[in-house]
Structure 1
Amino acid sequence: MYTARGTSLPYTGKHMKAWTIALSSLALLGGALALGAVASSNDTIAPGIHVGGVDLGGLDERGALQALQAHTPSAPDVTVRAAGRSWVVPAADLGWAPDPQASIDAAVQASRDRNLGARVMAALGQADTVELPLRARVNVATTRQKLAALVKPLETAPVDARIVFDKTRYTVVPDRPGVLADVSAAANTYAASPDATTLEVSVSKRSAALTAAALQVQVDAGNKLVRPMTFTLGERKTALTALQVANLFWVRAKGIELDEAAITRAMKTITSNVDRPARNARYALQGGALVRVKEQPGVVTDVKAALPLLRKAITTPSLATMALPSTTQAPTLTVNALPEVKKLTLIATGSSTYYGSSGARATNVSVAASKINGAVVAPGETFSFLNALGSISPENGFVGGLIISGGRTVDGLGGGVCQVSTTTFRALYQAGLPVVERNQHAYRVHYYDPQVGFEAAVYDPGLDLKMKNDTNGPILIRTVNHPAQQRLEVQVWGLPQTRKVTVSPATILARIPHPAPQYVTTPNLRRGQTRQVDWAVDGYNLYITRTIRDGGTVRTDKVSTNYKPWRAVYEVGSS
């Protein structure tokens, strides 16, 4: 027997067995700890760890990844709810996808986080099973896109209140709130919890930016400005109706906004009714003889001073009458500068026939011819056909007739005036006057044949005939109308000229056949009835050349015309 510290103990078989068990346990524990350390250092997943139901124990990362990929479950369904409605959507449609690598990382981390007891039990083959969920990731952009498509029928944009003019007054069309779904917040929530099987999308009302209450204040202010207004220039006066005044401004959300273009047009209307323009010295028939008539000064509106006053008057609801500032207008041609009648000579004549014209068209030809008859153009001045004519209106004697408008030949006020402008153009062009403005018709008009292309269209407002007097004295425009023969002459008189003018026939560059006829149904005719309302004409591309010889010099110019091919149009009854 052996003793320790001088004490002897019996060393029996019983003691030997205890020591053997203790040493074996220590050996096993040491081995287990060694295995655990190795497992941790080699990132081998500990026994008993499952991910998504797949046993990954004892596998390294690569093996675990292959095992997970071989057993990847299908995407779960997610119930999406919004505003009392619901949809069952595969998670994959919401941007959900398994994330095997993140799952493996979690399993490895779980292995590292085991306590000593768990490691020992795992080493002894008695590890508890640890179930870890399969990790997933969410593509937020895909989630937003899918959610937006689902809730789109629920969403409505807010509608702002708006201001409208209802025949006689301004009024407010009420606003409507909109409905907005917050898909971004829902998508972020899902991305933070990809295991969720339900997803709520919040829906809220969105107010309009402009409400009826806010606009009503401006509407009330605008309606106070809608009233008739009277304008005076000395003893002459004119008026605008309440509707005409309403057209001079806009009622906006920010307040009253003046319409400058409309104000400019209104000023022209006002001044045309109250101004008494100066009258140049002129020639007139008295007792069958042509005599000189003395010029007369005029009194007209001082437009520059009147415009700011008009703007202020429009926005002052208590103001119903406005006195226009005036200025004296001097004539530009005095009787002393007007040559004696006996010194005048016929320089050029233009002619045309309007045979076959309707009674209305013949009336307009006669009225227009009388309006420009006796017009005098001072040297250096430009003749304006529309200025000499005055407005094409019933007040000026004009009636309805066929005109070209909107690609069709239609009834319109003043049809036939172009017969006079064309004849005037022919006279002034043959007199050698420079062309300042000349416009053509859209298609070839038979009234101006056979001199195809030798014509000038006018339209009030917008299209004018303007030619400059470049002679050494005033010129007189005289019209001679022959209603019985439906023939018109325009004569240009002035001081004797040395220049000689030759106008060539049209040079036709191209002729374009007219298209097939068009048939338009109308309830104004009985079924089966047909009426032609437009006539087919070929298109032309042409020019006319003018040669002017004066004192040994020769110069030429030309007038180009491009006529559209025009189709025949028939109305067919439908009633």
Structure 2
Amino acid sequence: MAKHTAQTAASKTGKKNKRVPLAVKITGGVVALLLVALCGFTYLYPNIFPGVTVGTIPVGGMTQGAAAEQVAAKSKPLYQDAKLSMTIYDTTYDIPVRDVLESVDGEQSVQNAYAVGRTGNPLARMWDVAKALVGMNEAQIAAQVDEDGLTEALEDIVSKALTEPVEPTWDIGTDTMTIHAGKPGVKFDTDAVRSLLEEKIRLMDFEPYEVSTELTDTPAIDIDKIAEEVIGDPVSATVSKEDGKTIIPEKVGVQFDVEEARSIIGDGSAESYTIPVTTTAVKVTAEDLKNKLFKDTLAQTSTSLDESNTPRTNNVRLASAAINGTILNPGDEFSYNNVVGERTEARGYKPAGAYSGGKVIEEFGGGVCQPSSTLYMAVLRADLEVTERHNHSFTVAYTPLGEDATVDYGNLDFRFKNNTDYPIKILAEQTGGKMIMTIVGTKTSDKTVDTRTEVLETYTPQTVEKKDSSMMAGQTRVDITPITGYSTRTYKVITENGKTSEVLANTSTYVKRDKVVYVGTKQPAPTTPQTPATGGSSTTGESSGGESASDGESGTAGESGTAGETSTQTAGEQTQAAS
């Protein structure tokens, strides 16, 4: 009986342990009901599930149409000031999203939102809906790429980031030079970058990212090459000869011990090195030049010419135009022949009088010595350094003795250097019967320059008579007009700081030209007496013939002589003015 009782008790106890508490049953029932409700809600709800957003735009509970309007209204602020940032090697590049995004794809964005909770198995769907209800489900906003804008932005980045290896650079201070190690070349897959950018734009994903790159070797520091470029005397700032405005910065003088620098650099593994240097300041800095460029007239000279002689005036004007605006930086040399060029018909030059071999001839470019001579006069007064100058064989009428400069392309040139500390500019103009040369630059003192020429010797021309059997006795014809010759010395008279000194500018020798006169030697034909009847007729004929011959020869000789003298004199004057 006791045993039975024990078993019964045990049996009762076991039954009691298997009972499920009422609370658990209730909870389970509630969960089951919730799951059923959620499942029903998931499969039966017609709109976008509550809590779903498109990006940060709330569209939960909306119909697809209403959601599309919401996205259209509120999407622009999401990208208006946004940027795509990508790092390539050690540089970050930003692309404004508004430059590469054509528009937000409202339809696709709404479809993305509507798809939340509607894909996958039932549990996955319900899980997505549950997350949306607590604000943890964001649908991807979609956009259309501006292909042209993306191409332009990417090309700009590629031009900067896709690089060849960069050579070492350096900065020069007062007593040290810092050498910066070079940089490796950077390569990357531009097509892959474009594809990734397009994907990020379509998904409105503006998170920064780093581009995978391939680097090429960094150039080694070549101290010998650096020394070759850096070591040198100071060079003042200059001006561009192309536009006459752009200032080219100065370069300080630098010296350093190459072997010491080599030791400091060692294996070249550091990013930078400091090298001791000795520097020398320049005379003219860029700032100084900017304030003083072409501010002063150093000299201006003019000579006269006859504008009615159109071929010669044409040549003078062409040469002047070629010279006008020429800029010489300090130390530069001017060459008349190089600047003006060859005087040819093809370049517009006309035949005009010129000296050649002691004679006056007509040649293309006759007259171009007047611009060279006028410029020489200005160069003397600007106290510039003349490196080549030749006087004419005969004197010229348009310059004082000793102040002319003849030129002959390929043979004789007129050259001078800018020996000032600042750039100079030559202004040349032929106008109103004048050839004007102006040299502008920068005055650094109160210096003025004048000229003085002394005649060492005068060569008086002689008259040379030559016989001409074609002219009647007693008739003469001037064939060559005379020109007086001289030997001279010309000085620059320089006044500066109240003191005056003279410097020899040149010595010149002008040859004389003798006057050549042709004297007639032809005697009249003898006459034979005749009978009155016959003689009358014969005398009339001889008289007519004699008159005719005499008048003809006399007229011809006279006209020829006068014309010859006038022609020679005119040619001589033209040549003097032109040569």
Whether TM exceeds 0.5 here: the answer is no
Shorter-chain TM range is: 0.3 to 0.5
Structure 2 length-normalised TM = 0.38
More helix by share: 2
Structure 1 length-normalised TM = 0.38
More strand by share: 1
Bigger relative contact order, structure 1 or 2 (CA pairs below 8 A, ≥6 apart): 2
